Amino acid sequence: MNAIKTLVAENGIIYLISQIISIIATFFLLISYQQKTHKRIVGMQAIAGLLFGTQYLMIGQYAGMMCNYLGMVRGVCYSFRTKSKIIDSPAFPFVFAAFFAISGIFTYTSPLSLLPTVAMMISSFVQWNIKAQQLRALTLPTSIMWLIYNASCGAVVAVGTELLSEVSIFIGLFRFRKKKAQSAETK
């Protein structure tokens, strides 16, 4: 209890609330990698994006905020992959990458503020991929970028989130690789 009092005294109640929101967002992000389908993965990540964006807004980190809010929109759009000719177009990830680049220009404060922008530009192509195992594996480099950004801006819970996210990705990769191998053996 003393730790919470110290945290509030040093950073304020808004910071504490932002970290609670980040914990909820972490839940959605971590379970996203355990989903079987692309649609469910990006859907859960869209919810996490909304919550993480709100957390960054509350701590005044606008690069992280914009990237997460745009990421939420991207997640909703990508959940319709294979059902929409527009979203299925190979040009579609370039549209989101451009939006992220533009947001990076407007929210630039230092070279570190570009990390979420670059991470989200890359993930625009990664998440467009409908193969869930490839999506999991290719998310790792962007997670490292977010880890560095979160550490630099004091998003304490988000640092832990990225570490747990990487563990969750590896668990998902192992679980679904194992299920695929078992399925192939029974045929």
Segment-wise mean pLDDT, segments of 10 residues, the chain, 187 residues: 68 90 94 88 93 95 95 93 92 96 96 95 90 86 93 90 90 80 58
Task: Assess contact for 34 and 170: CB atoms under 8 A.
Answer: no
- Please report, in angstroms and rounded to a whole number, the separation of the first and last CA atoms in the chain: 56
Question: Quick one: pLDDT at residue 8?
Answer: 65
Task: Assess contact for 148 and 112: CB atoms under 8 A.
Answer: yes
Q: Which long-range contacts link 15-21 to residues 24+ away (Cβ below 8 Å)?
A: 15/58, 15/59, 17/58, 18/54, 18/55, 18/56, 18/58, 18/59, 19/55, 19/156, 19/157, 21/51, 21/52, 21/54, 21/55, 21/58
Question: Quick one: pLDDT at residue 50?
Answer: 97
Q: Where are the domains of the chain?
A: 2-85+92-186
* Residue pLDDT, tens place only, 112-156: 999 999 999 999 999 888 888 888 888 889 999 999 999 998 888
Whole-model pTM above 0.85?
no
* Cα–Cα distance, 127 to 107 (Å, whole number): 23
Question: Quick one: pLDDT at residue 132?
Answer: 82
DSSP 3-state assignment of 81?
A: coil
Question: Quick one: pLDDT at residue 181?
Answer: 59
